[in-house]
Structure 1
Amino acid sequence: MLEDRGLSAATIGIDLRYVYADTLFRLQQNNPECQFVDITGMLYGLRAIKHPQEIELHRSAARLFEEGLRRAITDATEGQSAQAIKYNYQAGALEAAMADPSLGELQSAYGFISAGTGSSFGDRSGLHSGDLIKFDCGVAVGGFYSDCGRTFAFGRAAADQRRVHDALAEAHASAREVMRPGTPISAIYRAADDVMRAHGFPGYSRGHYGHSIGLDSFVEEPPFISANEHSELQAGMLLCLETPYYSASTGSYQIEDMILITENGHENFNTLSYELVEL
């Protein structure tokens, strides 16, 4: 291909950061006069703006996440393990995909689900009244991913659990309000961070409040919603906005939506409530 294009002695940009050593060796062996250089950052910049067909696959993946979550919380029972909740989530996503082939090819349903008052992903002796169930999950559809999250209380939520969740929900809402073309990504970070400080969580610290998403199997892609990311939002960007919290005393929390930047504002792919729903 390189020879056909007159590039047999050219400088070739590739995503060198993620190329297998063996792949690079073969490229260099077969094209000894070429110089291969890293343009991973440039490629992520191009991938940050989604094509219409990519957007539809991401939208389907977000919907299948919600279908899986609904199945998991409907089937939540006393004594159930976090692993069993995860299996029900995966089963719900699969059932929804089978029921509606127009959503695309479901390739996997994955995620981190915690059940209990601690901050670990596992569980002690199963689900009990007063525990939190945290979903930080996604689905792969046609090679593209979703990454979404919600938190539920099993039984009655304690006052301190509600205090944390209410702050996270308000921080998430404040960040959503500024998500439109032309907004510096760092402004989204500040909007969420300011709310957490105002609610009396001065020690709450996040490296980022979300990320782009696309083809990467580890889901999180640049740009990240961080304090030092000053590039501006553009129409066609798809960001996963998240406000998580991990507490050894009250449990783990996650609120995460997939948000598409449009010409005049944004579109949220998620439809679930931001309340701390009691099951």
Structure 2
Amino acid sequence: MTAGYPDTNRDFVAARLRGLLEREGLDALVSVTGTDTYYLSGYGSLYGAAPGTILGIAYKDSADPRPTVISTETEVEAVLASGAEAAPYPTFMFLDDPFGRSSLEISANKPRGFGLAVSAPIVADALRRRGVKGRIGVQERGLDTASLDLLRGALTEWEIVEASELLVEARVQKSAEDIEYLGASVAITEDIISQIVSEIDQESSARSITSRFKELAFAHPEVDDIRLCLVTVGTNFAPTYIAREQDKALPGAVIKFDVGVTVGYHGADIGRTFVIGDPSDHVERVYAALLQGHEYLRSVIAPGVSFREAFDGGMDVIKSAGLPHYTRGHLGHSVGLGPSPEEHPVLGDVDGQFREGMVFCVETPYYGFGVGCLQLEDMLVVTEDGNRNLNKLPHELTSI
């Protein structure tokens, strides 16, 4: 498999968005985040971390089937190569075309930075150029008040509908290609975990294990990035930005992997727990309860089952299995594109139900002072009659 955005996946996304726009009576949909713009268009921008720096537009009806990407001038050729329409805006960066290789009319106006003060008018221009009238959906979640005012101020010709949840609904349903990429990311991540576990000794630390994970990940030709690399060793369960050398793999230490690589912009988020030597009675008891809850969730997730029903049942199992005071805001979440390990919706006390084609991370973590972190997390594809686990590693607490 090679990273990319297959035409079949592009067609799947376009058809899904057209159906949702038709249902909601919207003529276009505007995304403001890098990940959602990638979903709409197939173009992934380095500048996508800040909302409003890269935007996308999907259309319900248009003679031109391509989505539009509003990007910096420096990205125009890459946007066009992705198959999307390019609508560039100038930035502070100098851009030259000494041999006339580009059709882009390079702006001599150089703003001081990025953002909606520059990009919002380009969104309006793109909508006018495509002849969009009436109502448009705009992904407003994540924009601060000033940025939202800038975007709304540029779009006064249209009736604006807040459409963040519409994008959540669109992205939660995966294509066959999405699932293939997610499966590849899981398989590679599990191979890396297995190799590291075979190498661990008492000189290993949270820092050395983390470094080894990154080394092995980037040595793999299919890996584009690391979505998540949280390794804890011993009783320190804090998700520190820099893993600590002093957290050593000494006898009795719990080692938790909450990790995932990215393949084709699709990332894994999986968890496994190991222990050096024999686990304590407390660790054994807690893990047994978490495992029972996890097994329950894997057994009940199927089309038509509500998120709330699965969550309540999982919590009840864990509490009755020996952790009566266990509390969590959710026991899992959707997963898919981009750098964020968690996507909405969550497997919690929320509205909604599982549908065929969803991919959910199911997790039952425990954080204990003087204990460390115990984590068990799988990625499940919701199938016609139940679910399919993308993970192969054993679920039992494994002794090293």
Q: TM-score with structure 2 length normalisation?
A: 0.63
**1:3 paired residue among 112, 115, 128:** 128
Q: Distance in 2 between matches of 1:195 and 1:27?
A: 47
Question: How far is 1:36 from its partner?
Answer: 3.8
Question: How far is 1:91 from its partner?
Answer: 2.4
Q: Distance in 2 between matches of 1:90 and 1:269?
A: 22
Match of 1:178 in 2: 300
Q: Distance in 1 between matches of 2:397 and 2:248?
A: 20
Quick one: which amino acid aligns to residue 119 of structure 1?
F
**1:85 paired residue among 191, 203, 209:** 209
2:372 aligned with 1:251 = yes
Distance 1:13 1:225, change over 3 A: same
CA contact (8 A) 1:70 1:92 kept: no
CA contact (8 A) 1:151 1:276 kept: yes
- Report 1:142-157 matches (<5 A): 142-157=264-279
Match of 2:161 in 1: 37
The SS at the match of 1:258 is strand
Q: Distance in 2 between matches of 1:65 and 1:86?
A: 13
Q: Distance in 2 between matches of 1:174 and 1:5?
A: 50
2:133 aligned with 1:12 = no
Q: Distance in 2 between matches of 1:4 and 1:151?
A: 54
Quick one: which amino acid aligns to residue 186 of structure 2?
A
Match of 1:268 in 2: 389
1:60-88 superposed Cα distances (whole Å, 9 cap, x missing partner)? 11112102211221221213220111111
CA contact (8 A) 1:184 1:232 kept: yes
Match of 1:277 in 2: 398
Q: Distance in 2 between matches of 1:49 and 1:69?
A: 28
Q: Distance in 1 between matches of 2:227 and 2:165?
A: 28
The SS at the match of 1:150 is strand
Match of 1:119 in 2: 237
Q: TM-score with structure 1 length normalisation?
A: 0.89
The SS at the match of 1:126 is coil
Stretches of structure 2 that go unaligned for 5 or more consecutive residues are 1-125
The SS at the match of 1:140 is strand
Quick one: which amino acid aligns to residue 196 of structure 1?
I
CA contact (8 A) 2:305 2:353 kept: yes
The SS at the match of 2:392 is coil
Higher alpha-carbon deviation: 244-253 or 35-44: 35-44
CA contact (8 A) 1:57 1:144 kept: yes
1:82-108 superposed Cα distances (whole Å, 9 cap, x missing partner)? 01111112223333x33xxxxx45222
* Greater RCO structure (CA 8 Å; 6+ sep): 1
Q: How many aligned positions are there?
A: 271
Q: Distance in 1 between matches of 2:314 and 2:148?
A: 41
Match of 2:287 in 1: 165
Stretches of structure 1 that go unaligned for 5 or more consecutive residues are 99-103
Larger Rg: 2
Distance 1:125 1:44, change over 3 A: closer
CA contact (8 A) 1:132 1:252 kept: yes
CA contact (8 A) 1:72 1:86 kept: no
Q: Distance in 1 between matches of 2:147 and 2:181?
A: 29
Q: Distance in 1 between matches of 2:146 and 2:307?
A: 37
Q: Distance in 1 between matches of 2:159 and 2:196?
A: 51
Quick one: which amino acid aligns to residue 366 of structure 2?
Y
CA contact (8 A) 1:75 1:88 kept: no
**1:49 paired residue among 156, 173, 177:** 173
Question: How far is 1:25 from its partner?
Answer: 6.7
The SS at the match of 2:189 is helix
Distance 1:19 1:201, change over 3 A: same
CA contact (8 A) 2:289 2:319 kept: no
Match of 1:224 in 2: 346
2:243 aligned with 1:136 = no
Identity of aligned residues (%): 31
Quick one: which amino acid aligns to residue 360 of structure 2?
L
Q: Distance in 2 between matches of 1:19 and 1:61?
A: 30
Distance 1:197 1:25, change over 3 A: closer
Quick one: which amino acid aligns to residue 163 of structure 2?
I
Higher alpha-carbon deviation: 213-222 or 170-179: 213-222
Question: How far is 1:255 from its partner?
Answer: 0.3
Question: How far is 1:29 from its partner?
Answer: 6.2
CA contact (8 A) 2:227 2:339 kept: no
